[in-house]
A and B are shown apart, each in its own frame.
Chain A
Amino acid sequence: MEKNRYKDLVKKHTPKENRLYNGMIAFLVGGVMGVIGQLLVQFYAYYLDIPTKEAGTFMIITLIFIGCLLTAFGFFDKWVNFAKCGLIVPITGFAHSMMSAALEYRKEGFVTGIGANMLKLAGTVIIFGVVSAYVFGLLRLLLFGGAL
Chain B
Amino acid sequence: MTFRYKNVYINGTGTVTGPYEKKGPLSPYFDKTYNDLYFGKPTWEQAESKLIEDSVDIVLAKVGKTRFDVDLHISGDLLNQIASSDYAASNIGIPFFGVYSACATSVEGLILGANMIEAKQVKNCICSVSSHNNGAEKQFRYPVEYGGPKPKTATFTTTGGASAYLSYDKKGIRVESATVGTVIDMGIKDVYHMGAVMAPAAASTICQHLNDTKREIDYYDLVLTGDLGVYGKQILKDYMKSEYHINLKNYNDTACMIFDLEKEKDVHAGGSGPACAPLVTYGYIFDLMRKKELKRVLLVATGALHSTTMVNQKLSIPAIAHAISLEVVE
Contact = CB atoms under 8 A, between A and B. Distances in A.
Interface residues of B, number: 29
A1 B196 contact: no
Contacts of B187: 3, 6-7
B163 interface: no
B64 interface: no
A53 interface: no
B164 to A, nearest CB: 32
Contacts of B219: none
A7 B151 CA distance: 17
A70 to B, nearest CB: 10
Interface stretch (B84-92, B172-180, B238-246, B286-294): B238-246
Interface in B231-251: 231, 234-235, 238-239, 242-243
Nearest to B153: A14
A90 B103 CA distance: 37
A10 B188 contact: yes
A74 B134 CA distance: 14
Interface of A is mostly: helix
A120 to B, nearest CB: 7
A55 interface: no
Contacts of B238: 9, 12-13
B239 A1 contact: yes
B242 A81 contact: no
B146 A121 contact: yes
A12 B152 CA distance: 14
A103 interface: yes
B149 A107 contact: no
Interface of B: 42-43, 138, 142-153, 186-188, 193, 196, 200, 231, 234-235, 238-239, 242-243, 266
Counting from the closest, the 5 A-B pairs by CB-CB distance are A77-B147, A100-B145, A104-B143, A100-B146, A3-B187
